[in-house]
Structure 1
């Protein structure tokens, strides 16, 4: 079937390319509109307790968006400053959409910073303002506050920080993708030996991205799509499309070199029958891991799952249709591969096969050591203004408020009690909270008119998730909701931990089934899962060292905020497993075809190395931006690729295959018969010199 597809695409190259051109134009016209429909996607599902608590607080004590300013660097009681601030705040009180203004001089609630040279101004906007009106009010308030004559005036707020994050994400995407594409083209020209040949993978990548944007545009009708989703999904689509195009082109050049007189349609039929099958299985495997994200109930992860699956499947379709059609058009401009010395992977494989036991132990032990920082020292936090660049006004304001006005204390835990606060049971409940370990202060909010109470609980340390769980475990005889930043983090981590087995089951089943289809073995999928897990854990450990501990942060152009974004490990679980499966399939398909580990790596090693280099360039584009959460993904994926295509595929894979011998191809007899019936068997294995493993029959 795949051979017929390759032949059909070659013979009908212009209709195929015309169809893709129509899709690309639609993607540019309609898909480009996705940027006008991007939203700040919630990290938590709406029925999480912290979200319910937040909405209940809004009902009991309606409060509009808040804008905060720190005025510093000058004596707070300087008469000129007092007059200036008073005039500006009076002006702000008259602005459309402003509900209340608090400052040190004209209203209660103003505060002096710990340095005695700064004061806090809080501006509350009217609740329920439409987005456009709210943004105009925010801009007007910020402009007025910036006119205060002081050495330092920092202005931000939750909504302003969200806008800063969105603008930074778009700027990072434009910079990262444009630079990555230019560098990628240069790398492809060098690898493939010509400009036209180098354009083919890039054309497949651009087709994948534009049509993916069209898919994301449709997805916005079903769910929120964030800037972060677009950044990650589009770069993932570029990387995989280039990978698949390189594999198909390498196999085409190999087939043409073996039979130079065969018509191009027949050569492409052979190519898609072999490399196309690998592309199909790899694409399905990576898409299945993307769908694994859908097991998590959080909206951000759900949008990422759907968007990622769309990008992967489109990259696969492009590799099976657009790339053969482009090769058929430009095959005379595609040069034959230059003879070269043995590449890195075969050299590593030879080393591993000569001493498989020590090599397997050393590599596994090294990867476990790299994973230790993640297993025992990771600090997962929700990204806030600290994820913005150090020069960002929103981040500088956040740090100033924490340092000079909050004493470094964590945000309060918000407890909502739906009962009369005068009841003895409510007072007993508050007393129990006050006696909990890690609680510094319990303070009910005034002016709650309903028979309910909103209680701010100040925790002792920065990580107050255990206090949240302790409050929830008190089980009072009336309805209680616990919210706040710590509760949101606790809800997220508990939800992810609870649903992780389902996501893992999806990934394990997809990996096992697809690798069994490819190899007819049950042992190989289990071994692949083990190697992928080691790669993932080692990558996460390295991420903790660099981004949480700050080792080398200056080199990468960021200031560590002492934690890892809580969504990053989940995304990396899917991305690393998916891309590791990509290269696993590339190598195993050729090993099975050649019947020899070293021979299979010899043939597929250059393609895997080139693909990893290209997708590494794409993910390194993440590092050019300033958002730390995006940098985390780019850095981690680059590390994962480096580990995967060197020590894991070059050393651990051949070492384990040498140790297992014929057991590599073991499967229960009924499954072996089923595989032989429905899937083409591998070519006969030659047990000559240099042959390592055979297929168990």
Structure 2
């Protein structure tokens, strides 16, 4: 296609981004060479960053359960078991003498393994019924492995588990427990992402080709996404020098990198084509794309990064890791779109243009839709809002819970172990609530243990005063393990109580008045404290997210009402996303199709992460559309014309980009780990809703109703066209 220039354009004048565009045109070879060198360097840094990503736990530092664990370890040299071995008699029962002898030998082998600090088994504890299945075929070995999650899951367990699960002539052995569950989750989640990426790349290329109609134009946004991924992982080397970053940050980097790379590249390529259609030569077209689309990309990147940066307000390494990853991948995507891509356009811009330019037609579908909506804004806007509120309504029954082994597929080995324990054991000794006290009298321990044993959902209470069940003393038990400075009690929940609501059980235990000062810990208490810490900080998180993004939009539009409108609409789209998560993953709809096990609640960590990511991506499209509308309004001073023209110019691109992004996220719905499925389903829903009903109907209807107030206090500020 022949590119001509109809008007002279000064290369050394105009806004900074325009001057940057001309600079990138003049230095395109140097920029592309530097970009290639940086990509190679970033690849080396990224390869070094991946092995250093750690395996974080769901824990609340400084909480009551955290202090209880420290007290148990310091005073009694014990604590919650980090993992378990489920021992199954191949013949007979676990009480047969030959089976018991091999069980004791197996427990001794576990105790002698490097990294293991403590082992208790059915046979060493006097054969309590809580460590034996009701049919007598299974028994438990409880293992305590101190250290951070990375050391336990990456060093100790990979050597211990294969050796012990080989079993013996009489014993079949399976591994399980919290550490083993999450050790299995990481590689499965990584496989899910890799498998999804293998589908996403060719699918994204095909969709981009259908939209852009040139192979080169379709390939460049994908390469920009790869650049963003690699640059994001390389930049993670910075926080890795002073803090832990979760390995799940790798998954977020892969998911966001491609999406943002495609989105931002499409913004720039579409503007470049528009500038060419206006008759400008290649240099001026590149400069115009950097000036207008580049500004949009910068504000969008700032908005997405700001949305994720609010996770720094939470004192959890697991969630902070996503802030590091999100900010890093946004930086990579912005550099790819605003610096590298313009140099590519300057070098091969002709290959980015359609082979046949479609003849310009007055108006268009999107402009006509905007005009139709603005004629009856209350009717169209009200109907769209009502539909979105209906889709969001399941959110009202949101119930926060805690993650367990059911995030894994049914065929995962740790999941199968926990299923056997849930179905065959009368109580959950492995997840006992542990209560520790620095000083207590014997009679007080008796009364307190008896009171705790009457709490609904408690199977029994083990203490220095004996075993209690239903308020009565039920036996002596192994009282030697409670010896030390002070005392501690083990509150063993029933399997039903732990499966139903472990947090409620912990609250009930803490509600029993203690006769002496206590700290309540154990795995259920750790999960309860983590959930409470996250949920308690949720209002602060939302306030920061809304406030920061409002400030960014205020700086871009210089209007008060437009950021308010954008915030309200994005909150509505987030409500739809949460409604979908509740309807699917909490209530179990589509569980048969997607292949997950609903638990009746949602762990707060993943929805909070998705809130921040989805809010940032929603603002991505809001920033792009508002920039087009504002540009037209600055030129004409006519709000309705600006909305129709902005929608006609921006909606096709938003729809294409949103469709591609939604399909890429939807690919993660095929994952085997429910965390990954939640990310895929929720993000696909919010992107589709945002790119259709929100932008095409609610934006024009609300802007029509607001009229001149849209631009208050700036008012009309027209500029002459270039």
| TM-score, normalised relative to structure 2 | 0.84
Using the TM superposition, give the Cα deviation of residue 101 of structure 1 relative to its aligned residue in structure 2, in angstroms.
Answer: 6.5
1:362 counterpart = 2:362? no
| Cα distance change of structure 1 residues 183 and 354 upon mapping to structure 2, 3 Å threshold | same
Choose the corresponding residue for 1:385, options 391, 405, 426.
405
| Cα distance change of structure 1 residues 414 and 373 upon mapping to structure 2, 3 Å threshold | farther
Choose the corresponding residue for 2:341, options 306, 323, 326.
323
Aligned equivalents of 1:362, 1:265: Cα separation in 2? 46
Farther-moved stretch of structure 1 (128-137 vs 390-399): 128-137
CA contact (8 A) 2:427 2:459 kept: no
Using the TM superposition, give the Cα deviation of residue 474 of structure 1 relative to its aligned residue in structure 2, in angstroms.
Answer: 6.5
Equivalent residue, structure 2, for 1:175: 195
Equivalent residue, structure 1, for 2:260: 240
Where does structure 2 lack aligned partners over 5 or more consecutive residues? Answer: 1-15, 465-478, 634-641
Aligned equivalents of 2:533, 2:678: Cα separation in 1? 22
Equivalent residue, structure 1, for 2:374: 353
Q: Deviations over 1:248-270 (max 9, x none)?
A: 000000100111xx332221111
Q: Deviations over 1:322-358 (max 9, x none)?
A: 1111111220111237539988755653443232112
Using the TM superposition, give the Cα deviation of residue 532 of structure 1 relative to its aligned residue in structure 2, in angstroms.
Answer: 0.9
CA contact (8 A) 2:594 2:669 kept: yes
1:607 counterpart = 2:653? yes
Using the TM superposition, give the Cα deviation of residue 621 of structure 1 relative to its aligned residue in structure 2, in angstroms.
Answer: 3.2
CA contact (8 A) 2:282 2:346 kept: yes
Farther-moved stretch of structure 1 (458-467 vs 649-658): 458-467
CA contact (8 A) 2:591 2:597 kept: yes
CA contact (8 A) 2:133 2:425 kept: yes
Equivalent residue, structure 1, for 2:93: 76
Where does structure 1 lack aligned partners over 5 or more consecutive residues? Answer: 686-697
1:284 counterpart = 2:302? yes
Choose the corresponding residue for 1:66, options 79, 83, 99.
83
1:67 aligned counterpart, secondary structure: strand
Aligned pairs (5 A) from 1:102-501: 102=121, 108-109=127-128, 111-114=131-134, 116=135, 118-122=137-141, 124=143, 132-144=155-167, 154-259=174-279, 262-336=280-354, 339=358, 346=367, 348-376=369-397, 378-406=398-426, 411-422=431-442, 424=444, 430=449, 433=452, 441-444=460-463, 446=479, 447-458=481-492, 461=497, 462-469=500-507, 472=510, 479-501=517-539
2:236 aligned counterpart, secondary structure: helix
Using the TM superposition, give the Cα deviation of residue 167 of structure 1 relative to its aligned residue in structure 2, in angstroms.
Answer: 1.5
| Cα distance change of structure 1 residues 90 and 78 upon mapping to structure 2, 3 Å threshold | closer
1:381 aligned counterpart, secondary structure: coil
Aligned equivalents of 1:396, 1:220: Cα separation in 2? 35
1:454 aligned counterpart, secondary structure: strand
Equivalent residue, structure 1, for 2:662: 616
Aligned equivalents of 1:490, 1:8: Cα separation in 2? 56
| Cα distance change of structure 1 residues 169 and 72 upon mapping to structure 2, 3 Å threshold | farther
Using the TM superposition, give the Cα deviation of residue 361 of structure 1 relative to its aligned residue in structure 2, in angstroms.
Answer: 2.1
Q: Deviations over 1:194-227 (max 9, x none)?
A: 2211121111111111111112233222222223
Using the TM superposition, give the Cα deviation of residue 401 of structure 1 relative to its aligned residue in structure 2, in angstroms.
Answer: 0.5
Farther-moved stretch of structure 1 (331-340 vs 645-654): 331-340
Q: Deviations over 1:306-325 (max 9, x none)?
A: 21111112211221101111
CA contact (8 A) 1:184 1:618 kept: yes
2:179 aligned counterpart, secondary structure: helix
Q: Deviations over 1:115-171 (max 9, x none)?
A: x263124153676797635531222112236x7577xx6433333323211221221
Equivalent residue, structure 2, for 1:691: none
Using the TM superposition, give the Cα deviation of residue 406 of structure 1 relative to its aligned residue in structure 2, in angstroms.
Answer: 3.8
CA contact (8 A) 2:233 2:328 kept: no
1:647 counterpart = 2:681? no
Aligned pairs (5 A) from 1:660-675: 660-667=706-713, 672=714
Farther-moved stretch of structure 1 (158-167 vs 648-657): 158-167
CA contact (8 A) 1:622 1:633 kept: yes
Q: Alpha carbon RMSD of aligned pairs, Å? A: 3.2
Aligned equivalents of 2:305, 2:94: Cα separation in 1? 62
CA contact (8 A) 1:38 1:224 kept: yes
Aligned equivalents of 1:371, 1:663: Cα separation in 2? 29
| Cα distance change of structure 1 residues 483 and 123 upon mapping to structure 2, 3 Å threshold | closer
| TM-score, normalised relative to structure 1 | 0.87
Aligned equivalents of 1:347, 1:543: Cα separation in 2? 34
Q: Deviations over 1:544-589 (max 9, x none)?
A: 1111222112222333343323212211210111111001111111
Equivalent residue, structure 2, for 1:690: none
Using the TM superposition, give the Cα deviation of residue 277 of structure 1 relative to its aligned residue in structure 2, in angstroms.
Answer: 0.9
1:144 aligned counterpart, secondary structure: coil
Farther-moved stretch of structure 1 (555-564 vs 277-286): 555-564
| Cα distance change of structure 1 residues 489 and 353 upon mapping to structure 2, 3 Å threshold | farther
CA contact (8 A) 1:17 1:325 kept: yes
Equivalent residue, structure 2, for 1:509: 547
Aligned equivalents of 1:113, 1:166: Cα separation in 2? 30
Equivalent residue, structure 2, for 1:577: 615
| Cα distance change of structure 1 residues 522 and 105 upon mapping to structure 2, 3 Å threshold | closer
Using the TM superposition, give the Cα deviation of residue 438 of structure 1 relative to its aligned residue in structure 2, in angstroms.
Answer: 6.5
2:166 aligned counterpart, secondary structure: helix
State how many pairs are aligned.
Answer: 665
Aligned pairs (5 A) from 1:22-37: 22-37=37-52
Aligned equivalents of 1:434, 1:109: Cα separation in 2? 16
Choose the corresponding residue for 1:51, options 55, 63, 66.
66
CA contact (8 A) 1:7 1:268 kept: yes
1:565 aligned counterpart, secondary structure: coil
| Cα distance change of structure 1 residues 574 and 66 upon mapping to structure 2, 3 Å threshold | closer
| Cα distance change of structure 1 residues 42 and 339 upon mapping to structure 2, 3 Å threshold | same
Using the TM superposition, give the Cα deviation of residue 173 of structure 1 relative to its aligned residue in structure 2, in angstroms.
Answer: 2.3
CA contact (8 A) 2:440 2:516 kept: no
| Cα distance change of structure 1 residues 62 and 105 upon mapping to structure 2, 3 Å threshold | closer
Equivalent residue, structure 1, for 2:671: 625
Equivalent residue, structure 2, for 1:688: none
Equivalent residue, structure 2, for 1:40: 55
CA contact (8 A) 2:100 2:123 kept: no
